[in-house]
Structure 1
């Protein structure tokens, strides 16, 4: 070793790194006193914040993110939750089918109950989320959702065992509303936490991995969930979701990280809730790119909200599939999500271009229009692959840009605003399909055609808005 230099093992942000520092200088985090050498500490921070592989001479590929234990556990938590949610949703869909409910209408009601809290509680999340430690928010949320899911299972038990022939589903939807209320705080906290675990220069890679993995596990979970619901029963799918929440609590608890900055006023005190809400909204309006990105997220949420309900009717009625067949059809979207991962995972410069969401929406619109023109499963499968590739990657650009450009103490509020807008647009989408006779009587293939045209129109408007805000 070079004289005067020592090699030291550090653990920062749950990432083990080796940094080179002058000998004789006490380093923070060890047994000795904290160092006064700011330059050396900055170097160590830069190494731990995104360059953990430089000492090995390996490139910073997307897969190297898994060497960060904190990121790896957050990612694993997301996978477990996505699988659990998908299995429970497919279990409830099997309940609708086997007990002679209108699958399309009940699916819209179920998703409406999930999305409504985002609109009602979005302002509360904007006002308070940046005042709390995000990892704590995630753990408490998952622990509470375990109890709610167990409540759903208990309420459905008499109906599923045949002790009663009919059971009011409004209780189930009320409990799903509670899950949605928790999710209103959960999702913004999770996305806002990500930059605390990795460096900003790796956000595109991290969001690519998150978005595509989420898409793959969601559609894969629905494919598995359709099979489980038909063979093992509805209750298995519901209880699996409770187990998933418990596993997530353990994974999040094992993330080791220092406390992050929280929103405070000039005197170091947390501002009042409404004052924080007003400040967050003004920040969003004045920010050069945040507002168009939030708008784009809302547009995508509306299109997705209409699609997930219309797809159920399209698969079961137009294509003549059952619950398992619907799950396998959605599984084709998982293949497309994997293709999206391969494209975005390379981290090429084009993945950061403002043209990316425009192209994605146009491609998705064309695929939807073509689906509306066929009732043959073999023709629909490749179109589902294309939709999977688009759906899995369209949020990558949005999330990475917001995480990169929004300051630390406003990040949670901006993501909460995005969640509030997406909840509003999805609520409208779901209500149109169970609350209006016009949509209920409109064939699913016609709705798909409208979606295709709307996606292309939204792409043009979104691109114009982003260029206007320059």
Structure 2
């Protein structure tokens, strides 16, 4: 029976496999297009402030609609929602190509920001529709494995799309070619979704005001639970900060490549692709060996290491004698590799802790609080960082961010090690015993 719960057994389910392929394409496209949008704005404006507006355009819909989307999906056909989400985004992506040929100046920028907002709003409905489709396609015995694969893919497509695939598309195909490829990915994802069985929607007659009240009550309940549990609060703080830092680094990557390293915006892949490699490699290592250690200890150590690495990124922006003997680009590539590895050391244990410490009936609300908080924190920070980067330079902004992160790291690490003293050490003996007791079944 244990073998029946493996990833291979889940993937052999044809309907789940088709849905999984659609998820890979759709979410790689969704995350990848953000990099293309940022490079486009850097090329058009050479302004980090404008890039902050772009990030606001694709982040704000998550704040406004993520919770509403989850409730709406409960009342509609999941298959129709996924088809509509992917199909409509084919047209929004093609719109970029059309307006780049026909418009210029401020009118072009305004249309780009508007299309980005609309496309992101449409995309908020895909993930909850897919997540709620999984139980309909796999049996109860394989649901845990299917959800694990879903969450692993969710993380993986963020890294692969934003840090590897999109920069490669821009470098090889150019901006218009990258947009065309993203549109094709959405189209193929739509065709894949069309092959899964159609579900029957749960008909609920509810006014808009009643739905908003339901959303608000569920978020309040989730937040009350988070605030009452210190391990979850620490994990949420570190996860939110890491997510914001990832967005910030994606925002400044093209500007960092041009203004700090003297490269072209599309050459940012040469510097920041190692972050994706580091994150993917360490994701495997954490998944393989992380069971031995307490989640809060791993994430706190990763967070502290991340602060040191970011300090190195800031140093690269100053004209120091150091850079006459050490190759700056190679050093930044190494720092990028380390940052990706450290990011996974924060994100994976923190997400796992959120799931483990939350009761099943509140888990969705806790995750909703995380998504809402992550976007609420990221949006003003993106705007401030973007504006300051244009006024005082990217390197000085990074040094300021390092100071803030040092305070957060010191606070959360202190709290985590207090929990360690209560819990009995760095190593998670219970998890190790459970792992070894089941390892013989595989």
Please confirm whether the aligned pair reaches a TM-score higher than 0.5, indicating the same fold.
yes
Deviations 1:105-142 (A, max 9, x none): 33222111001122233453465455556555333322
Cα 1:356–1:305, aligned 2, differ >3 Å: closer, same or farther?
same
Give the structure 2 partner of residue 12 of structure 1.
none
| Structure 1 residue 292 displacement after superposition | 5.0
Matches within 5 A, 1:227-242: 227-228=171-172, 232-242=173-183
Give the structure 1 partner of residue 269 of structure 2.
327
Return the alpha-carbon distance in structure 1 between the equivalents of residues 154 and 287 of structure 2.
11
Q: Pick the aligned partner of 1:220 from 164, 184, 192.
A: 164
Return the alpha-carbon distance in structure 1 between the equivalents of residues 85 and 399 of structure 2.
38
Q: Pick the aligned partner of 1:113 from 18, 32, 57.
A: 57
1:366 is aligned to 2:304:
no
Give the structure 2 partner of residue 16 of structure 1.
none
Q: Pick the aligned partner of 1:274 from 187, 212, 215.
A: 212
DSSP-derived class of the 1:320 partner: coil
Give the structure 1 partner of residue 184 of structure 2.
243
Give the structure 2 partner of residue 448 of structure 1.
398
288-297 or 314-323, which moves further after superposition? 288-297
Deviations 1:372-426 (A, max 9, x none): 2236001111110111223345433344444555566655444333222222112
Matches within 5 A, 1:65-464: 66-69=11-14, 71-85=16-30, 88-96=33-41, 98-99=43-44, 101-122=45-66, 124-125=68-69, 128-132=72-76, 134=78, 136-159=80-103, 167-190=107-130, 197=138, 198-200=142-144, 207-208=151-152, 210-228=154-172, 232-255=173-196, 272-287=210-225, 288=229, 293-346=235-288, 348-350=290-292, 353-374=295-316, 376-392=328-344, 394-403=346-355, 406=358, 411-434=363-386, 436=387, 438-462=388-412
Return the alpha-carbon distance in structure 2 between the equivalents of residues 263 and 366 of structure 1.
53
The gaps in structure 2 that reach 5 residues or longer are 318-327, 424-442
| Structure 1 residue 441 displacement after superposition | 1.4
| Structure 1 residue 333 displacement after superposition | 1.4
299-308 or 454-463, which moves further after superposition? 454-463
In the alignment, is the contact (CA less than 8 A) between 1:146 and 1:242 conserved in 2? yes
DSSP-derived class of the 2:108 partner: coil
In the alignment, is the contact (CA less than 8 A) between 1:129 and 1:413 conserved in 2? no
Deviations 1:427-447 (A, max 9, x none): 11221134x4x4421221222
**Aligned Cα root-mean-square deviation (Å):** 3.9
The gaps in structure 1 that reach 5 residues or longer are 1-46, 55-59
Return the alpha-carbon distance in structure 2 between the equivalents of residues 351 and 180 of structure 1.
37
Cα 1:286–1:83, aligned 2, differ >3 Å: closer, same or farther?
closer
In the alignment, is the contact (CA less than 8 A) between 1:126 and 1:412 conserved in 2? no
Larger radius of gyration: 1
Give the structure 2 partner of residue 40 of structure 1.
none
| Structure 1 residue 264 displacement after superposition | 8.9
Deviations 1:322-376 (A, max 9, x none): 1332122221112212311320232641366222221221121111112222360
Deviations 1:17-73 (A, max 9, x none): xxxxxxxxxxxxxxxxxxxxxxxxxxxxxx5xxx4537xxxxx4x666544545544
| Structure 1 residue 192 displacement after superposition | 6.1
Return the alpha-carbon distance in structure 2 between the equivalents of residues 172 and 83 of structure 1.
20
Q: How many residues align?
A: 402
In the alignment, is the contact (CA less than 8 A) between 2:167 and 2:266 conserved in 1? yes
